[in-house]
Every structure is written in structure tokens, then in C-alpha cells.
Amino acid sequence: MKTYKSLDITPLKFENGKLTILDQTLLPIDEVYIEIKTKEDMWDAIYHLKVRGAPAIGVVAAYGLYVEAGRYDGDEIEDFISAVEKAAVYLEGARPTAVNLSWALNRMVSCLKGQECNSVQHAKEVLLLEAVKIHEEDVNACKAMGEYGLSLLKPGIGILTHCNAGTIATSKYGTCLAPIHLGQERDYNFKVFADETRPLLQGARLTAWELDKAGVDVTLICDNMAATVMKNGWIDAVVVGCDRMAANGDGANKIGTSGVAVLAKEFGIPFYMYVPTSTIDMNTSTGDDINIELRDGKEIYQMWYEKPMAPEGIKTFNPAFDVTDHRYITAVITEKGIVYPPYDINLRKIME
Ligand code: MRU
């Protein structure tokens, strides 16, 4: 049995007014923190997945907006607010699917506009306080989801996960990996199977790295091996994160998630989606209304290879997310509790 090694790694650090993020594109080889000094740095880091995972994107963007606001050197409060609003709109354009990005930026702007700031300096302080609040709330939400999630999982079971909804995808602990870290502390001895998660390999590079580092028993598989491990009887539960959940319970998450959900139903395995309330978008009615990010096809056949692994000029289709229909989701784990179907009614109740 492996022993638990508490994880001290965080996706971001904010110290003495300086924002640094762990460059997740360099993992698992290098653990390097890079500084975010401008809105352009922030946009680039989000777009290129140096910071990724819905909650982490939201929290980092909130600090990033504060950092950008800090560069404003005038003393006109109206101009300052308008500059902050423009920067928020610009940052929101970096990635469309994870609602946490627009959620956190809107919250920063609304908070600023809702206060009677008597100086630009005061307004900057208001922004910092709100970013810190968003950050702290996320840490607490992940902790709570860990406890609720663990109540659904028996010691010693096999768990399949897809992508990375762990400690570096959030402020701390993770969403769907939070109960696994917690279970490890409490000797649950889970046997975790991590889908590699093509094309960007978040499962191989991040989940396998994070769980192995924490001493969890983790086995890496290719995405197309999920049916085999289920058929072998090795999987008792599937746990995944979410980038945006619509009001009817349809949940967008990393491409490949919906296929895993369909398989889980076929094999009679519960499929749990971990969704902090910051990821539930009551303004989006169903999964059909979620904007799915399309990325460069070279991620499929070139990015990880010395030579292109497809004919020159091949047509590609590279959606970064898919939508799992609510009927495949056994339960939604939020920081406010576990939500069961019918989701159109029960999500509304929890969001009130
Ligand atoms: O493209 P990514 O790596 O940002 O996608 C991340 C996911 O799909 C995660 O599962 C999701 O954001 C939940 S993170 C707690």
C-alpha cells in the first residue's frame, strides 16, 4: 500500500501583489511558475492551457484582472471602471466553454460597479478583495465536494476518471479528485484508472502525475480502453469534472466524457459529475446551447510527435469538449450537496 503524501502544489500563487501560475503545459517534466503581468499574458496563459480546468481558470482570471487594473495610472474612476470592463471582455474571449471564466470576470466587474469607490486606489482594493474571496470560496467548495463525493464511494473500489479535475484544475484539492485525495488520507485504498485524454493528454500528464505524487494507486490507460476495464469488472464508479452545466443537467466536460458516460450506463456503473455551483449556468437551458471550443487540428496529429502522424493537409475536427446528456449522470456533486434527477427541478432548488 502506498502512503499518502500531502500535495503542496497549487495552480497559482499570489504573493506581494505578484501573480504566478504553474505552467501546466510543461508537466509532468517541469514544475515551473511563470509570472502574469498583463491581460495579454493572462489571455495567452488561458488560451494555451498553461492554466486550465474550469475553476482554476476563473480564479486566475479574477487575479489577472486585478493585476491588469493595477497598471492603470490615471485617477478618473469612470475611466478606470471602463478600462476594467474592457479588459474583462478581452479575457473572456480566451476560451468559451468553461463558464467559470465569464462567471468570475462578471463577478469582479459587478462588485466594482456595486461599490461607491472614492478613488482609483480604493477601486483597486475592492477588486483584490473580490479575487481573494473567489479564491477562498473555491478552496472551500472543493473541500466540501470531497466530503460529499466520498460518501458515495466505498473503500477499495475501482474508479475511472477522465481528463484532470484535480488540485491544479482548481484552487486546491480538485473537484472529482477531491474525494480520492481525501480517501487516500483515510486509507480507502481506491484503485484509480486514468484515461489518458487525447488529444492534450490531461489524464496522462496531469491526473496520473498528481495521483501518483499523492501516493494513490493509479493506472494509466488509453481512452479506448475504458470499455475493457469496465467489462473486466475493475470499475465501480466513474468520476469526472465539468466545464459548464446547463439548467437541465446536461454537462459539458473534456472531449470523450460523454462516451465514458454511455459506457458506464451500459455496464451499470454509477457516473458522478462534480460541479461547483460556479460551474452551473442557469442561463443556459440545455447542452445544445453550450458553445463548444474548437481547437487546432495539429493537436491531434502533430503536437506530441517528432513527425506529423497524418498525411500533410489532412482535414481535422478537434472539439475540446462534449456534452454528457443528463440522463447518463447518476448524481451531480456540488459544494452544497448531492443533486439527483430530475435535474431541471433539483438544480434550480440548489441554485436558489
Ligand atoms: O481543456 P481543459 O484542460 O481546461 O479541460 C478541463 C476539463 O474538462 C475539466 O474536467 C473541467 O474543467 C473540470 S476541472 C475541475
| pLDDT per position as a tens digit, 116-137 | 998 999 999 999 999 999 999 9
pLDDT at 9: 87
Calculate mean pLDDT across residues 50-60: 98
pLDDT at 189: 96
Is the separation of the CB atoms in 127 and 108 below 8 Å? yes
Interatomic CA distance for residues 101 and 94, integer angstroms: 9
In this structure, the strands spanning 158-161 and 191-195 are parallel
Calculate mean pLDDT across residues 288-295: 98
Mean of the per-residue pLDDT values of the chain? 96
Interatomic CA distance for residues 192 and 208, integer angstroms: 9
Q: What type of residue is 332?
A: V
Is the separation of the CB atoms in 169 and 11 below 8 Å? yes
Model confidence at 68, pLDDT cuts 50, 70, 90, reads: very high
Q: Could you tell me if the CB of 160 is within 6 A of ligand 1?
A: no
pLDDT tens-digit profile of 304-343?
999 999 999 999 999 999 999 999 999 999 999 999 999 9
CA of 120 to the centre of ligand 1 (A): 35
Q: Which residues contact 272 (CB under 8 A, 6 or more apart)?
A: 149, 152, 176, 237, 238, 239, 240, 329, 330, 331, 332, 333
Q: Ligand 1 pocket: which of 100, 160, 163, 322 to mutate (most atoms <8 Å of CB)?
A: 163
Ligand 1, atom nearest to 100 Cα: 12
pLDDT tens-digit profile of 80-111?
999 999 999 999 999 999 999 999 999 999 99
| Residues 165/321/201/21 CA torsion (nearest 10 deg) | -60
Model confidence at 7, pLDDT cuts 50, 70, 90, reads: confident
Q: Could you tell me if the CB of 175 is within 6 A of ligand 1?
A: yes
Q: Ligand 1 pocket: which of 254, 271, 333 to mutate (most atoms <8 Å of CB)?
A: 254
pLDDT at 111: 97
Query: Across 137-199, where does the E strand assignment appear?
Result: 158-161, 191-195
Interatomic CA distance for residues 186 and 201, integer angstroms: 29
CA of 53 to the centre of ligand 1 (A): 4
CA of 243 to the centre of ligand 1 (A): 6
The secondary element (H helix, E strand) that includes residue 99 is helix 99-114
Q: Whose CA is nearest to atom 10 of ligand 1?
A: 241
Q: Which residues contact 75 (CB under 8 A, 6 or more apart)?
A: 119, 120
159 pLDDT more than 90: yes
Ligand 1, atom nearest to 175 Cα: 15
Calculate mean pLDDT across residues 247-253: 98
Beta bridge partners of residue 331, listed in sequence order = 272
Calculate mean pLDDT across residues 236-253: 98
Interatomic CA distance for residues 334 and 280, integer angstroms: 9
Ligand 1, atom nearest to 54 Cα: 12
Calculate mean pLDDT across residues 249-262: 98
Residues with catalytic annotation?
243
DSSP for 248-267, written as a single string? TS-EEEETTHHHHHHHHHHT
Q: Which of 276, 277, 312 is nearest to 297 (CA)?
A: 312
CA of 253 to the centre of ligand 1 (A): 6
Q: Could you tell me if the CB of 165 is within 6 A of ligand 1?
A: yes
